[in-house]
Structure 1
Amino acid sequence: MMNKIIIQRVFFILLIGLSMIACQQAQEQSAKNDNEFRALKDETEFDLVILNGRVMDPETNFDGIRNVGVKDGVIGLITKKDISGKRVIDASGHVVAPGFIDYHSHAQEPYGHKLYVRDGVTTPLDLEVGAFPVNDFYEFWEGKAIVNYGTNVAHVGARLALLDGQEPDGRVLYSAAMGRAMNDGSQFKTKLYDPKDEKAIVDVVEREIKQGAIGIAYPIGYYTVVGSPEIYAVSALAGKYNLPITTHVRYLSQIPPSGFIGITEMLTIARENNAPLLIHHVQSNCLGLTGPCLDIIDDARANGQKVVGEFYPYQYAGTYVDADYNRPGFEQRMGIKASDYVITATGEHLTPKKLDSLRVAAPGTNLLMYTMKEEYIMEAFKRPGTIVGSDGMPWIVEGDESGFNATFDTPYGAGNGHARGAGTHARILRMVRETKAITLMEAISKMTYGPAIFLEDHVPQMKIRGRVQEGSAADITIFNPETVTDNASPKIGENSLPSTGIPYVIVNGHVVVDGSKVQNVPAGVAIRNKTFL
């Protein structure tokens, strides 16, 4: 018996020894393979290398001087070692950040895209209003966009088509279809809730979801007459297809019914339909209630709901005369007066008489309105978890009946509109430098990783964006943290001045901003969900 025990022990010891040897051999082979792979990457001639930049990755919180190699539109290597490439950018003294992501872009036009890339944006998507039909939007931009492009399905587009008989051409708010509806009763925004309309609207939205929409957009601040049951029914599609919903909530007001109530409504609808929720420009709707509005968003997130609030850093908003919140009584609701409205195309401040006349003669006139105080903006800026969305609008250029005729070659400054379409992201970086209210990494996260993680479980392309990591898409913004600034202002001729201090922007490996000059190259890809065409 003793001999048997000794034999078993010897066998056990030998087995352990053999296992240790095998493990050591596996580790050595793994290290050898890793070293060979690393050496192979080090020897690669990359398409593009970015040398000596301060690489900042908000997901990992990495912040250090590194060289970055890009191959076939992907970040292939981040290293301290010397690397070579067909094209070299010396980023000394500059931050190498993920390309900025903007989910609130209505400036879906070549001129708008040109201003976006000068502001560091590589992925401007229209998620607040969306498009209708969705496929028209994607077909229009295929092979033409210098930036990544994508859209939600526009709930308001479905209402335009079914209630007003006006089919948009991909665009919605600034389409001819919207103009015709505005001049002919605007059933989409005036007809009281009728359950008989509900099924047809749900069916049409579902049809558009199958065209690859990112999610469902509810800009119901522009048509507050829509019934909550309709929004609830349409949102069931978000649960069915695993999509997010986004909203410009009802009630731009700080008195009841307020933006706070509007946010509460959409939080409830999203929760009951198990749909992630993006709430656009919280401070713009909530005004003096911005703090409490952000609090209820934080509370919902703490309770397990996927929700994010967005903001932009300007004290004035873009609107049009006939928006619901501009109806009589706006003075009390928003704490402003008629002279706080400015005609976008001319810079003229309104009088009560002029505003009343526009309600009848030109209800679609675009306006800027001064509604927000600096403390509302700082509340959102400093709040952890908020993201940045520009709400950039189409640019108005004189010389065309529609006004929206800007081209890629339209000179900077010639487009009239809201400065946020040209300078939002550089303005955020300038605010970091001047106020030190948040860290530079926090600010970058609000413009990159924060937006990316909201969508990445629903749109796989976002899993490789919003980061500077090996294997990520080569969407990269290079800026000088000491000089980056916005130059656009409310003044006519200055609305569309480009940001400076962002000399290089890379989209899918293509240098789209090269020495602060925009290259008209089709570098963008469609950010899109599964289609059922």
Structure 2
Amino acid sequence: MRNIFLILFLILSLNAFGQASIQYDIVLEGGRVIDSETKLDAIRNVGIQGGRIMMISSDPLAGKETLNVSGMVVSPGFIDLHVHGVSNVEQEYQLHDGVTTALELEWGIEHTGAWYASRKDKALIHYGASVNWPYERLRATGRYQEGVEELLNMVRANEREIASFIHVAAPSFTEDLTQEEMRQTLVNIKFSLEEGAIGIGVPIGYLPGTKPAEMYSVFEMAGQLDALIFTHNRQPNILATQEVIANAVLTGAPLHIVHINSMSLGQIDFALNMVSAAAQNGFDITTELYPYTAASTGLMMAMFDEGWQERLGIDYGDLQLVATGERLTEETFARNRRTNQVVIMHMMQPEWIASGIAAPGVIIGSDGMQFSKLAHPRTAGTFSRVLGKYVREDQVLDLNTAIEKMTLLPARRLEGIAPMMRFKGRIQVGADADITVFDPNTIIDKATFEGGLEFSGGIEYVLVNGTFVLKNGETVPNVFPGQGVYGKFKK
């Protein structure tokens, strides 16, 4: 708080001497500046100093470096609450999509403190993660310690492999925990929160055999601590959505439901109505979606247990193998499931996605996957697709509303658990200089299901903490301004 007052004092002092006498580190000149919180949408000049926005003015500003960005939109950097690729390989695709903060909040990170330390001074954009509830639960049991050590070694080597974790962990999640194991699970979660984790990742959809009473205990803890839960629902249906909403309402736990599109499928409007009703009745419940009609996961996951065709409303030919791009048959499904190959699941209709994107209060989140050339295109193109297809081409929503869903709404969603997010998602004096500059007439995603990952087009500049990481559409080499985003419980 002292630093905030110091910044404001400095700003007022600088104003007293007049703008013309100040030379900022960087000036973005003549762009269309959009800030969702103040409703600013006007041609302005933006002065950046020391990693912060220090001036927004219609008057000329002097800068050590001045860029004319007329004809472009100057937006807060996009904030992605849901990524799985957390290395610089994926972060480069993310920054070309306008993302300045990318957080692994659905699954979380095993051994949180060590992971944060491993990324310090090495990240292109801001990073952070939730507690990985399945990992902390597994550590609390005495029956699977060999598997725990194996997974911990993978984390130390920076080789995150969710499929291997589930292979080790899945048997334990159909078993009842003893009272001591449940107590230890909660102790482990609290410890990980104290290492800086942003809330609790509850990907119960990967471990649907988890007992409801056990899951409820995690929600109870979250309610007591006011720790935000990020959940992948137990099944892709309305009952599973009702389960997590009921848990949150009864325990007071803040709740964020990930990818509501793939969790509710054709009943997306019903699911969104429930989330909206909960919020209108004072409950801290939000959701997100990605702008594609396909999902993606490994074939060994519980989603593909017997009866998957009926549950998901698809068949073998709707599954596309990430490794080769081929569509599956009954025979190739069985063969590839044995090695848990990742597939793209073509399971949603365009009108479902359009409805979700247009719905008030729904956040945009990518669910971006770990790098593979033929990985799901959401890994590289989520935010540009919203602005190019759903704003400019299809006119499903207007530009200001889309930017709000990518900047202010995710920042506000996290402020209660990660206070530093108060300074992100905004173009305001005193805010962090995390800024995305794009051409609204050309911005578009270029990654496809058939061709694989490709950098998005139309994003010209991205600044992270006042440092250019993208300039004239090209990655700036050898700069790593990304910083860790920590939860409020960090000791």
Q: TM-score, normalised by structure 2?
A: 0.92
In the alignment, does 2:135 pair up with 1:157? yes
Question: Structure 2 counterpart of 1:511, which letter?
Answer: F
> Which residue is 1:416 aligned to?
374
Contact 2:140-2:182 at 8 Å conserved across structures? no
Query: Retained in 1: the 8 A contact 2:170–2:207?
Result: no
Q: What pairs with 1:190-339 in structure 2 (closer than 5 Å)?
A: 191-196=174-179, 197-252=181-236, 259-339=237-317
Aligned pair partner of 2:336 in 347, 351, 358: 358
Q: What secondary structure sits across from 2:296 in the alignment?
A: strand
Separation of aligned partners in 2, 1:529 and 1:393: 23
Offset, 1:35: 9.1
Gaps of 5+ in 1: 1-32, 253-258, 397-414
Structure 1 position 380, deviation (Å): 0.5
Contact 1:206 1:237 in 2 (8 A): no
Q: Residues 157 and 37 from structure 1, CA distance in 2 versus in 1: closer, same or farther, beyond 3 angstroms?
A: same
CA distance in 2, matches of 1:93, 1:177: 43
Q: Report if the CA contact (8 A) 1:315-1:373 is conserved.
A: yes
Alignment of 1:391-406 (within 5 A): 391-396=367-372
Cα 1:176–1:131 shift into 2, 3 Å: closer
- 1:529 Cα deviation (Å)? 1.9
Is the 1:156–1:188 Cα contact (8 Å) retained in structure 2?
no
Q: Where does residue 501 of structure 1 map in the other structure?
A: 458
Bigger shift: residues 221-230 or 61-70:
221-230
CA distance in structure 1 between the partners assigned to 2:312 and 2:405 by the alignment:
27
Over 3 Å counting, the alpha-carbon distance change for 1:214 and 1:176 in structure 2 is closer
One-letter code aligned to 2:467: H
Q: Which runs of 5+ in 2 are unaligned?
A: 1-10
2:126 alignment partner, SS class: coil
Structure 1 distance, partners of 2:410, 2:395, is 22
Q: Residue 31 of structure 2: SS of its match in structure 1? A: strand
- Asked if 1:482 is matched to 2:466, the reply is no
Change (3 A) 1:427 1:219: same
Equivalents in 2 of 1:516, 1:376: separation in Å?
Answer: 32
Q: Which amino acid aligns with 1:367?
A: V
- For 1:204, the aligned partner's letter is N
How far apart, CA to CA, are the structure 1 residues paired with 2:303 and 2:167?
19
CA distance in structure 1 between the partners assigned to 2:60 and 2:17 by the alignment: 12
Task: Report if aligned partners of 2:26, 2:66 keep a CA contact under 8 Å in 1.
Answer: yes
Distance across 1 between alignment mates of 2:203 and 2:18:
51
Give 1:425's aligned amino acid: F
Cα RMSD (Å): 2.0
The structure-2 alpha-carbon separation of the partners of 1:340 and 1:171, relative to structure 1 and needing over 3 Å to count, comes to farther
CA deviation vs aligned residue, 1:418-446 (integer Å, no higher than 9, x gap): 11010000000012001112110000000
Q: CA deviation at 1:273?
A: 2.6
2:409 to 422, 430, 450: 450
Q: Deviations over 1:286-310 (max 9, x none)?
A: 1011010000000000100111110
Q: Does 1:186 align with 2:193?
A: no
Deviation at 1:384, TM superposition (A): 0.4
Q: Does 1:527 align with 2:485?
A: yes
SS, match of residue 145 in structure 1: coil
Choose 332-341 or 232-241, whichever is displaced more. Answer: 232-241
Q: How many residues align?
A: 471
SS in structure 1 opposite 2:127? coil
Cα distance in structure 1, aligned partners of 2:416 and 2:371: 33
- Give distance in 2, aligned partners of 1:88 and 1:374: 42
Correspondence 1:370 to 2:346: yes
Between the aligned partners of 1:178 and 1:317, the Cα distance in structure 2 is 16
Q: Return the alpha-carbon distance in structure 2 between the equivalents of residues 485 and 344 of structure 1.
A: 22
Which residue number in structure 1 is paired with residue 426 of structure 2?
A: 467
The change in CA–CA distance for 1:184 and 1:158 in structure 2 (over 3 A counts) is closer
Equivalent pair of 1:106/1:126 in contact (CA under 8 Å):
yes
Measured in 2, the distance between the counterparts of 1:281 and 1:66 equals 35
Shift of 1:41: 4.3
The correspondence of residues 113-152 of structure 1 with structure 2, limited to 5 A, is 113-152=91-130
Identity value in percent: 33
Report if the CA contact (8 A) 2:381-2:445 is conserved.
yes
How far apart are the structure 1 equivalents of 2:285 and 2:272? 11
Query: What is the deviation of 1:500?
Result: 0.8
Per-residue deviation, residues 219-256 of structure 1 (Å, max 9, x unmatched): 1111001112222222333233332111011112xxxx
Partner of 1:11: none
TM-score under structure 1 length normalisation: 0.85
